[in-house]
């Protein structure tokens, strides 16, 4: 397992990669989340949900204001800001867990960081807005770079995922993002077929060649629905299987909706894979 990835500081917290799997809890402040868990513009509901995720064991909260489900419509910067900023401002004053902003727009990310977020999670891997890299460098915050194949055709999915992530890493490093602040995500569900998603999960360990911690986001995703023929709210066991396999294959942090259950899965997987369970 990853033992030489160093330490990433996020929101005053130390993420010592390789010691255990970290849990990123998903907080969708959208009305149209694919998983049905979006809290829309209800700030109190968002805060309550955030507190629940923390109580269940989330190491970090990932807050997103725009749905990334297939065929979803993009929203304006102003609308995204109206959704995420009030929630981030409230939570930054009330919780100690680091907050990640799930956005591919540099202006949204900038405002989120100013409001108390301390990580940028870019599902487009700097392909939509390269200024995110300069922003991460300027603020000294971690940056999640994802491999997104939407709108492309691929032949060797794992090779192309690695190439995409390396392109994003090189860009980030060039503008001054510290290596220890880069996290890579293979982008499960983003422009990949069922077979492609399964292959990425099977060969996840090949991403270790990039020398950075791996974030895996399979929670309730369509590949689980395709295999099990189940709607998003019934994909808990399928998610658990992908999380356990992902950890065995090299994941360092998992992004999930069901924090309580997936923390248990991660703890058991860590006991087997890393020899740690406390």
Cite the active site residues.
221, 255
- Looking from the CA of 103 toward its CB, the CA atoms found within 13 Å total 35
Minimal CA–CA distance to 23: which of 257, 190, 222, 200? 257
DSSP assignment of 188-244 equals: TTSS--HHHHHHHHHTGGGGGGG-S-BEE--TT-HHHHHHHT--GGG-HHHHHHHHH
C-alpha pair distances (Å), 271 with each of 99, 236, 263, 265: 27, 21, 12, 10
Residue 173 burial by Cβ neighbours in a 10 Å radius (0-12, 13-18, 19+): middle
What is the rounded distance in angstroms from the CA atom of residue 240 to the CA atom of residue 219? Answer: 8
Contact 218, 179 (CB under 8 A): no
- Looking from the CA of 236 toward its CB, the CA atoms found within 13 Å total 10
Minimal CA–CA distance to 184: which of 175, 192, 173, 196? 173
- Main-chain phi, psi angles of 174, to 5 degrees: -60, -35
Contact 139, 158 (CB under 8 A): no
């Amino acid at each position: 397992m990853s033992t030489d990835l160093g330490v990433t500081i996020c929101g005053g917290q130390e993420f010592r990669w390789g010691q255990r799997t970290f849990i990123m809890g998903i907080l969708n402040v959208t009305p149209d989340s694919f998983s049905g868990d979006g809290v829309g513009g209800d700030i109190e509901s968002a805060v309550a949900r955030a507190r629940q995720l923390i109580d269940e064991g989330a190491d970090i909260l990932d807050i997103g204001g725009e749905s990334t489900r297939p065929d979803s419509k993009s929203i304006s910067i102003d609308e995204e800001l109206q959704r995420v900023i009030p929630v981030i401002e409230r939570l930054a004053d009330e919780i100690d867990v680091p907050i990640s902003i799930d956005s591919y727009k540099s202006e949204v990310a900038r405002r989120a960081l100013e409001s108390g977020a301390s990580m940028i999670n870019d599902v487009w891997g700097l392909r939509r807005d390269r200024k995110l890299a300069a922003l991460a460098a300027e603020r000294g915050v971690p940056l999640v770079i994802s491999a997104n194949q939407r709108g492309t055709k691929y032949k060797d999915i794992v090779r192309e995922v690695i190439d995409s992530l390396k392109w994003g890493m090189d860009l980030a490093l060039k503008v001054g993002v510290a290596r220890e602040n880069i996290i890579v995500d293979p982008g499960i569900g983003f422009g990949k077929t069922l077979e492609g998603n399964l292959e990425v999960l099977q060969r996840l360990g090949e991403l270790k060649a990039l020398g950075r911690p791996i974030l895996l986001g399979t929670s309730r995703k369509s590949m689980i629905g395709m295999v099990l023929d189940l709607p998003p709210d019934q994909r808990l066991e399928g998610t658990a299987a992908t999380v356990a396999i992902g950890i065995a294959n090299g994941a360092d942090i998992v992004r999930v909706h069901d924090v309580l259950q997936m923390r248990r899965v991660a703890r058991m997987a860590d006991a087997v894979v890393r020899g740690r369970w406390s």
